[in-house]
Amino acid sequence: MINSPFLLKNTSAYQKWRLHKLALYPIAIDDLFVNIANPSLVTDDEIASLSKRVQDYNLAFYRFMQEDFRDKSLVHSLGNKLGLKQLDSNLCAGSDNLTSIEVRENKNQHGYIPYTNRRLSWHTDGYYNTLDKQVRGILLHCAQPAVRGGENMLLDIEIAYILLRDENPDYIKALMQDDAMTIPANILNGKVIREAQTGPVFSISTEGHLHMRYSARKRNIEWKNDENLLEAKDFLQNIWEEGSPYILQYKLKAGEGIVCNNALHSRTTFVDSTEEKKKRLLYRGRYYDRMKDLITGHNGLAEYSKNTIAKG
């Protein structure tokens, strides 16, 4: 593993990285947007612009300027160009492994909140996946927005890490425990669809990248009975309730989307159209890949670590 600033022992590396990270803020939503003139022929410059924003903020927004906003092939193509190729299949995904996020009535499935018009609490995607199939990247594309509401809130997990570590480094230690959070088994009609999954909230990849599996749900989540861990959980909950200047809020329009390294996110309630063709519809791709730094050919953190931290 490289000299990652996310290792608690690397105090000097953390402080240098922290200053670098926080200097990027505040950031306006408009500055995170990249216009894609022709989604059928995305240019290298457009990909580089998205990559640079994700390198800095772990998320970016795009806007298709033409074409059919409901064309899934354009979403797949954009993901591939960004290095997002290993799609995570899930219970509600289509045959192409992209999931249509829309209000559904599934008589033979649980009433999963993403497929209702209810508020969606803060989480990272795939927190219930096995540890060898964690979701690292997400592409969320809007084909049709809701009539009213349905805004997305996002927070870079690296900012969440800074807020927690600055408050109490023991919070990070607790959240990195292998048994910090357990998602109970998913059982439908007496059949186990998914076994219980236990693991850390924060983890660090062999390349030194930070990863987070988290849900603010108050039901069907089992937290280890550890004082620092429970305080850290409450600290995050307070951010969701009180707000933070680092949280971004935006309602996607048709043809707009988000690409990110599995940022923390939530969604407000919404009112849908009564017309079938105008009902809220988003396409979501979950990937086992992180977005690659397509500017330098290396990951942003690795490049920063090599050129800055290692000089310590």
pLDDT number for residue 297: 40
- CATH architecture of the region 11-311: 4-Layer Sandwich (3.60)
Percent of the chain topping pLDDT 90: 79
Question: Which pair of structure tokens corresponds to residue 126?
Answer: 């795939």
The closest alpha carbon to 232, from 200, 197, 196, 268, belongs to 200
pLDDT at 310 over 50: no
Q: How far apart are CA 204 and CA 200, in angstroms?
A: 10
The model's confidence at residue 95, banded by pLDDT at 50, 70 and 90, is low
Helix/strand/coil percentages in the chain, nearest 5? 30, 25, 45
Instruction: Mean pLDDT check: name the lowest of 120-134, 228-242, 247-261, 289-303.
Output: 289-303
Distances (CA, A) of 131 to 111, 176, 277, 292, 304: 25, 13, 38, 21, 27
The model's confidence at residue 96, banded by pLDDT at 50, 70 and 90, is confident
Q: How far apart are CA 85 and CA 82, in angstroms?
A: 9
- How far does Cα 70 stand from its chain's mean position? 22
pLDDT number for residue 90: 67
Average pLDDT over residues 218-238: 96
Tokens 């505040």 belong to which residue?
26
Average pLDDT over residues 280-308: 68
The model's confidence at residue 211, banded by pLDDT at 50, 70 and 90, is very high
More confidently predicted of 211 and 92: 211
Average pLDDT over residues 81-89: 92
Average pLDDT over residues 232-251: 98
> Where do the H-state alpha helices sit in 32-142?
44-57, 72-81
Instruction: Dump pLDDT digits (tens) for 38-51.
Output: 999 999 999 999 99
pLDDT number for residue 166: 98
pTM of the model: 0.92
Sequence-distant (≥ 6) Cβ neighbours of residue 287 within 8 angstroms: 79, 84, 85, 86, 87, 88, 135, 136, 137, 138, 139
pLDDT number for residue 67: 77
Average pLDDT over residues 267-291: 95
pLDDT number for residue 193: 77
pLDDT number for residue 93: 55
Q: Over the range 19-51, which residues count as b (16 or more CB within 10 Å of their CB) and which as e?
A: eebeeeeeeeeeebbbebeebeebeeebbebbb
pLDDT number for residue 111: 60
pLDDT number for residue 44: 95
CB 220 within 8 A of CB 163: no
Backbone angles phi, psi at 15, to 5 degrees: -65, -40
pLDDT at 76 over 80: yes
List, in sequence order, every residue forming a beta bridge with 256; answer none if it has no partner.
Answer: 63
Question: Which pair of structure tokens corresponds to residue 181?
Answer: 């959070």
pLDDT number for residue 147: 97
